[in-house]
Chain A
Amino acid sequence: MKGSKPKAKAKSVLPGFGISMGFTIFYLCLIVIIPLSAVFIKTSGMTLPQFWETITNPRVLASYRVSFLTAFAAALINVVFGLLVAWVLVRYRFPGKKLVDSLIDLPFALPTAVAGIALTAIYAPNGWVGSLLQPLGIKIAFTPLGITIALVFIGLPFVVRTVQPVLQDLEKDTEEAAVMLGAYRLRTFTRVILPDLIPPLLTGFAMAFARGLGEFGSVVFISGNMPLKTEIAPLLIMTKLEQYDYMGATAIALVMLVIAFIMLLIINMLQWWSGRRTIAG
């Protein structure tokens, strides 16, 4: 592929590469890379065994588990319902649709702490929904389920907003063809539509998941913060800081940072690949 790259493409006729790339890299370094490298530098003050002991402490491991499982579950829920919401918004008409469409973005605007307080008020045992579920023996607030709900709230826009444009651009022709060939709706969906939606769904999933891993403000209110059960990794970072243990805090932060980076890299490769594919097609 490298060899076949035509020279004209490599030397684009478009101007502005130097200035746009230069500014991008400069700004990226200033805001993201230099500050983040502080985490690495601070952690390098630890010896390797110290570092290892900090990040594999049973409570820390338990908190990774809580963070991962709840973020994963929330992202999964968001994929299913996010797809449904996007589908309904793109394909069907119903009164108040525009309003519903705008609602999707509000979780971005609400301070996470407020979201946490509001969700706790609703899902606590004496809240509107919590009190209905209490007799059934279902507890939401102060359990991993509560954390999951908070993360669903936080992550929903990511899935809906990545799926929506792709769904909108889907060619009707392929669907038509499938119908002509006698396929039923469900079959058309799984065989024709879904494959095209998988890349954006993956992206949405990964963004919601990544965001959920780091979420703090909304979760502390609804989680109950019980060690080993509902204690999330960002809370442990806070706890370390309260003890004036900067190195311990940055060590856990570093682990989460690396995980986030690897995850995002995988998604971006997927997305770039899918983007190319649609252009080529």
Chain B
Amino acid sequence: MKQKLMFSSRILTVALAFTLALTGCGSGSGNSGGGTTGTSEGTSQQEKATPEKEAKKPVKLLNVSYDPTRELYDQYNKAFAAHWKAETGQDVTIEQSHGGSGKQGRSVIDGLKADVVTLALGYDIDALVGPGLLDDQWQKQFEHNSSPYTSTIVFLVRKGNPKGIKDWNDLIKDGVEVITPNPKTSGGARWNYLAAWGYALKQNSNDEEKAKEFVKELFKHVPVLDSGARGATTTFVERKLGDVLLAWENEALLSLKEFGDDEFEIVTPSISILAEPPVAVVDKIVDERGTREVAEAYLQYLYSEEGQDIAGKNFYRPILPAVAEKYKDQFKEVELLQIDKDFQGWKAAQEKHFNDGGTFDQIYTPGS
């Protein structure tokens, strides 16, 4: 017994010693931590160390975005860097992070130091308001609901449209398989779902029960629910599964470009939804890092002719009339539902349809 006591006291001593050693290291590296850990701190310390170069210090921005904007921001970042250099003489490097919209929003909440967020839907930026990263009026900061480009939901079908798909109600015909990602994990899929819902409401003179039945029937035709928009596209294009892919218009057009328009074609339904992927400056981070000016300019420049042109080139619908005119052949005219008008905003839509127990969950309730 005495032996055991001695053992445990020795263990305790050693464990304690390690702990002390570690906390010692911890606080030691804490002081110098800024230099070695986050790159952001590294640069800000350098900046402070060389005040004489204040005007031309290089600056870094982190843009946290969602999946389908990779190509868009790849080009836009270069354009903005050149523009900013010409305007102010300052070098700006923009780092990109892409992923599912919800996951990206969560990363920012958990401490990813994003100067700007450019996500798939307002709901994911609304989520940043709670933890105090930006204020609830963020969507008024930039014109047009802070959405410098828009898109909509279209159908991608196989060449020749063998199943004769023209509109939403064709999707629930026998033998038609529909590919869409899971609305619970994919921002794009939420737009898909709401577009389908909106169509059914209009068809059935706003009878919600009928709309519920329609989407339920629709999801019976879905053989695979990928977790993200890009995964769904791969399933449709590479695995050759399904007859129709519900996709962002920009993703569908990109697929034609990437995989050849001899394999697929786009069908625009009678009604779709105006998808507004919004952008916002993350107040807390830019104030902390002193990057507000360049971050705001970065987002503002999306509205310039050049920014709009890049958006158009990457198959997003530009909002600047002059640029929109240039790309008008690319985009079909279609009646578009609006999230604020037809669905009372994202918060209401999210609660009603996508939260636990919402209309989407009801589709997958056992025994129904």
Contact = CB atoms under 8 A, between A and B. Distances in A.
Q: Indicate whether A and B are direct neighbours in the complex (CB within 8 Å).
A: yes
Contacts of A227: 225, 364
B106 A244 contact: yes
A126 interface: yes
A57 B365 CA distance: 10
Nearest to B187: A242
B111 interface: no
A228 B364 contact: yes
A248 B19 CA distance: 33
B290 interface: no
Contacts of B62: none
Interface string A77-106: 000000000000000000000000000000
A29 B325 CA distance: 63
Contact of A224 (B11, B15, B100, B223): B223
Given A26-B15, A248-B356, A124 B241 contact: yes
Contacts of B227: 220, 225, 235, 238
Contacts of B14: 18-19, 21-23, 26
A18 B225 contact: no
A245 interface: yes
B354 interface: yes
A226 B15 contact: no
Interface in A236-251: 238-239, 241-245, 248
A125 B241 contact: yes
A9 B364 CA distance: 61
B140 interface: no
B224 A224 contact: yes
Contacts of A241: 102-103, 106
Contacts of A165: none
Interface string A104-125: 0000000000000000110011
B223 A59 contact: no
A55 interface: no
B238 to A, nearest CB: 8
A218 B355 CA distance: 27
B259 interface: no
Contacts of B12: 22
B351 to A, nearest CB: 11
A272 interface: no
A58 B365 contact: yes
A243 B11 contact: no
Contact of B102 (A225, A235, A243): A243
B227 to A, nearest CB: 6
Given A124-B241, A243-B355, A21 B11 contact: yes
A205 interface: no
Contacts of A29: 15
Contact of B3 (A11, A58, A121): A11
Contacts of A225: 182, 224-227
Contact of A22 (B15, B22, B100): B15
Contacts of A30: 22
A120 B239 contact: yes
B7 A242 contact: no
Q: Which residue of B12, B109, B227, B240 has the most chain A CB atoms within 10 A of its CB atom?
A: B227
B151 interface: no
B40 interface: no
Contacts of A132: none
Contacts of B15: 22-23, 25-26, 29
A58 B366 contact: yes
Contact of B10 (A11, A17, A127, A141): A17
B185 interface: yes
B366 A62 contact: yes
B361 interface: yes
A158 interface: no
Interface string A202-238: 0000000000000000001100111110000001001
A280 interface: no
Contacts of A22: 10-15, 17-18
B11 A242 contact: no
B173 to A, nearest CB: 21
Interface in B18-55: 18-19, 22
A120 B106 CA distance: 29
Contact of A239 (B185, B238, B239): B185
A245 B127 CA distance: 11
Given A23-B18, A225-B225, A59 B364 contact: yes
B364 A18 contact: no
Interface string B85-107: 00000000000000010110110
Interface in A5-62: 10-11, 17-19, 21-23, 25-27, 29-30, 57-59, 62
Given A18-B10, A22-B15, A142-B224, A242 B103 contact: yes
Nearest to A22: B14
Q: Which residue of A126, A141, A242 has the most chain B CB atoms within 10 A of its CB atom?
A: A242
Contact of A245 (B18, B182, B356): B356
Contacts of A26: 14-15, 18-19
A4 to B, nearest CB: 16
A244 B127 contact: yes
Nearest to A11: B3
B18 A243 contact: no
12 contacts: A10-B3, A18-B7, A18-B13, A25-B11, A26-B19, A124-B241, A221-B231, A225-B227, A226-B225, A238-B185, A239-B184, A241-B102
Interface of A: 10-11, 17-19, 21-23, 25-27, 29-30, 57-59, 62, 120-121, 124-127, 141-142, 220-221, 224-228, 235, 238-239, 241-245, 248
Top 4 A-B residue pairs of the complex, sorted by shortest distance between their CB atoms: A22-B14, A18-B10, A242-B102, A227-B364
